[in-house]
Structure 1
Amino acid sequence: MSRGRRRLGKPAGVDTWADVRDAASYAGEDFALFARDAAEALSQLPDGCINTSLTSPPYWAVRDYGHLEQLGLENEVDDYVERLVKVYRELYRVLAEDGTAWLNIGDSYFNKSVTVDGKPPRAGWKRNKQLSMVPFKVALALQEDGWWLRNVAVWQKPNAMPSSVTDRLTNTWEPVFLLTKSERYYFDLDAIRVPHTTDDAAERLRAERGNAAGKAKGQDELRRWLNSPRHRSTIDGLKDVERRPNAPEAVELASYLRLALKSQGRSIKWVAEQLDQPFERTRHYFRTDEIGSRLPPPQTWLRLKALLNLDDSYDEAMAVEVGDNVFRNHPKGRNPGDVWSIPVAANRQDHLAVMPRKLAERALRATLPEGGSCLDPFMGTGTTGLVTRELGGRFVGIDVQAEFMRNYLRASGYRGK
């Protein structure tokens, strides 16, 4: 996420929730279920009525769920990818402008006999035992269709099923993609922070001892590596510095400044002249590549605000505080990172691929605003729905398998439509 975005993420579709429920096969106060094809069901939902999505669709060429319209049994992986892109095109429409979508897809190995003149092809992925790379084919296709791909989280399975293969490694992880509808989106990092592994007191002790007792003494290579904001107190000793602890990524602010520049009909050269700074220095504030992008210094930022008539979207994020240069852990914990070690959920008789509750909880705590809505276009056993409702949100579930929904409703004690 981008920092300073919590003003986004207002509950979407509150005014249209009655329309969503009326179109559903089954509905309650905080859920609406559609027993039909995902693309068809999504086409009946109003624009911008959903805040976030979390799903794990049937994987390609892995399992037969016994339904003629099911996803995953396409002869060609390109057909599978195309069907998913069509579903996500409709999902894009029904998401709020600051909406997000979590997508978990596993891979499979190609095991169909493809021959050229009676022999396996010399090159290409359509050869037996080739890893199909389906998740990444889907992710790339979604990027081409307009989605922002913000993360590839690794779902590491500490209790992954053992494999009998002897000529490759056992598969113990799957990707979970975080997709967004636009550059600015709702993401509550504080809700999913985890305990720190470092100690503030130890950092201060090293700082107070200064360079004489610094851990880089006499080790030039280590000293260069440690010459970073986190460790500079060890190298330089204790001193006061200015800092912006909530500053956004430079590329994010650059995109914002570019939009403002365009709306004002001005050029970077004009900005450089007004700031009385070299053009080459000024252009870094507007560069959207990670290598060249730079945050403007505090005083330059204030002048840019006035020059480009900027709103207050980044005031909090760009605020400066003065204090000592000791690294401090965030009081609410650290960013959990993109490797999630979460045990596989036990299979059930009605479904052989159940999403773990812990995976759903981590994803939705970050992207479901208070009172917001979540959609799962391939709901299966309904883990996404259960977690959404426990977090106080509204759930929209879709699946071609009506039996999955009836099981979900029975487990929820459903009485109604």
Structure 2
Amino acid sequence: MDKTLNNLLNKVLIGDIREVYIHIPDQSVQSIITSPPYFGHRKYSGEDVCPNEIGREKTLDEYIKNLVSCFERIKPKLKDSGLLWLNLGDTYRNKELLGIPWRTAFALQDNGWILRSDIIWKKTNAMPSSIKDRPTTDHEYIFLFSKTSNYYYDVDSIREPHVTFTEKSRMKGGRNHFGKKNSTPENGKNAGNQNLHDGRWDQAFHPKGRNKRTVWEIPLGKFRDVHFAVYPEKLVETCLLASTKANDVVLDPFTGSGTTGIVSKKHNRNFIGIELVKKYQIMAQKRIDETTFQETIFLTPTHSA
């Protein structure tokens, strides 16, 4: 492993990503998993505005421009086979939803990133709202980007249990068709399709589960040392398992409380973090230092590339 890279592993660097990025070797990161500060939500650096703090821009255009600039700088650090997972929430201004996640996604597309998927993170424990003239928001977006069309993605690592032949099935006839030849219930658009009807449905399903869907129901994370909700370890874990192997390098350019780094170490991945605010850099580094690889959680062969 490159000596420069080795000196960065499992460290949270202090500073602005647009300046600190130069210390990370090109083509060294397998996955970027991050949640930047949201526009106009929180003053992480306190009342004294840090001129480089993302999220405190005067205009939405400036915010999106700054985000694009950040990811443009770290793009060369990502391997050609790597992926970017970007979690973003939205903002209301003057009773109007700004549509920030999708505006940002389109801007990143225009800057050369390939948008592979949009994912809805449904917060099962979202905070109640007193709003009376619109639905309560209980979701955020996660966007999956790649640099190239040929990237690493482990579909089996995040498969979900099948539903079709379980109590949760909404299929007409449901479990009565399990294991029976010519027993599929469609009489509509799929009628006469021998590939579908002349066989057993249960044999057509992958033994490890169905492909991961694009709605993830995950509760908000909690951490007692900060006075705001952190994105949950389960969310990071899903992104990490799908896009990395053991000993790969994961980057979070907006480290915050360090959740991405903690999950990375638990799963035997290396981590590089960057954090602008000193108190969070200290907090995140402490949490990461106290985290160890938990072999019982997950074990996968070393990355061969």
The interval holding the TM-score normalised by the smaller chain is 0.7 to 0.9
Once residues 182 and 227 of structure 1 are traced to their aligned partners in structure 2, the CA distance between those partners, rounded to angstroms, is 40
Matches within 5 A, 1:29-178: 30-65=9-44, 66=46, 67-68=49-50, 69-110=52-93, 128-178=94-144
CA deviation string 1:110-157 (max 9, x = no partner): 1xxxxxxxxxxxxxxxxx211011111110000000000001110001
Counterpart for residue 293 of structure 2: none
Q: What count of residue pairs does the alignment treat as equivalent?
A: 278
Task: Give the letter for the 1:339 counterpart.
Answer: V
Cα distance, 1:407 vs. partner?
A: 1.5
Is 1:336 the counterpart of 2:212 in the alignment? yes
Unaligned runs of 5+ in 2: 167-174, 291-305
CA deviation string 1:283-307 (max 9, x = no partner): xxxxxxxxxxxxxxxxxxxxxxxxx
Please state whether the residue corresponding to 1:170 is helix, strand or coil: coil
Once residues 227 and 343 of structure 1 are traced to their aligned partners in structure 2, the CA distance between those partners, rounded to angstroms, is 43
Is 1:215 the counterpart of 2:146 in the alignment? no
Among 216, 230, 248, the residue aligned to 1:372: 248
Taking a change above 3 Å as real, the CA distance of residues 86 and 412 of structure 1, as seen in their structure-2 partners, is closer
Cα distance, 1:347 vs. partner?
A: 5.1
Counterpart for residue 294 of structure 1: none
Counterpart for residue 266 of structure 2: 390
Once residues 133 and 325 of structure 1 are traced to their aligned partners in structure 2, the CA distance between those partners, rounded to angstroms, is 41
Once residues 180 and 225 of structure 2 are traced to their aligned partners in structure 1, the CA distance between those partners, rounded to angstroms, is 57
CA deviation string 1:322-345 (max 9, x = no partner): xx8875210111112000000011
Counterpart for residue 297 of structure 2: none
Task: Give the letter for the 1:350 counterpart.
Answer: V
TM-score, normalising length: structure 2: 0.84
CA deviation string 1:197-251 (max 9, x = no partner): 13498556442xx3xx7634xxxxx332455577x22xxx44xxxxxxxxxxxxx
Once residues 130 and 268 of structure 2 are traced to their aligned partners in structure 1, the CA distance between those partners, rounded to angstroms, is 43
RMSD: 2.2
Please state whether the residue corresponding to 2:96 is helix, strand or coil: coil
Once residues 177 and 81 of structure 2 are traced to their aligned partners in structure 1, the CA distance between those partners, rounded to angstroms, is 38
Counterpart for residue 187 of structure 1: 153
Please state whether the residue corresponding to 2:241 is helix, strand or coil: helix
Please state whether the residue corresponding to 2:120 is helix, strand or coil: strand
Once residues 406 and 92 of structure 1 are traced to their aligned partners in structure 2, the CA distance between those partners, rounded to angstroms, is 26
Please state whether the residue corresponding to 1:410 is helix, strand or coil: helix
Among 236, 257, 263, the residue aligned to 1:381: 257
Is 1:224 the counterpart of 2:205 in the alignment? no
Please state whether the residue corresponding to 1:223 is helix, strand or coil: coil
Counterpart for residue 298 of structure 2: none
Matched-pair contact (CA < 8 Å) for 1:102–1:176: yes
Greater helix share, structure number: 1
Once residues 145 and 104 of structure 2 are traced to their aligned partners in structure 1, the CA distance between those partners, rounded to angstroms, is 12
Please state whether the residue corresponding to 2:124 is helix, strand or coil: coil
Matched-pair contact (CA < 8 Å) for 2:258–2:287: no
Counterpart for residue 302 of structure 2: none
**Greater Rg by CA:** 1
Unaligned runs of 5+ in 1: 1-14, 25-29, 111-127, 217-221, 239-323
Task: Give the letter for the 1:328 counterpart.
Answer: A
TM-score, normalising length: structure 1: 0.63
Counterpart for residue 292 of structure 1: none
Counterpart for residue 313 of structure 1: none
Matched-pair contact (CA < 8 Å) for 1:107–1:133: yes
Task: Give the letter for the 1:397 counterpart.
Answer: G
Please state whether the residue corresponding to 1:166 is helix, strand or coil: coil
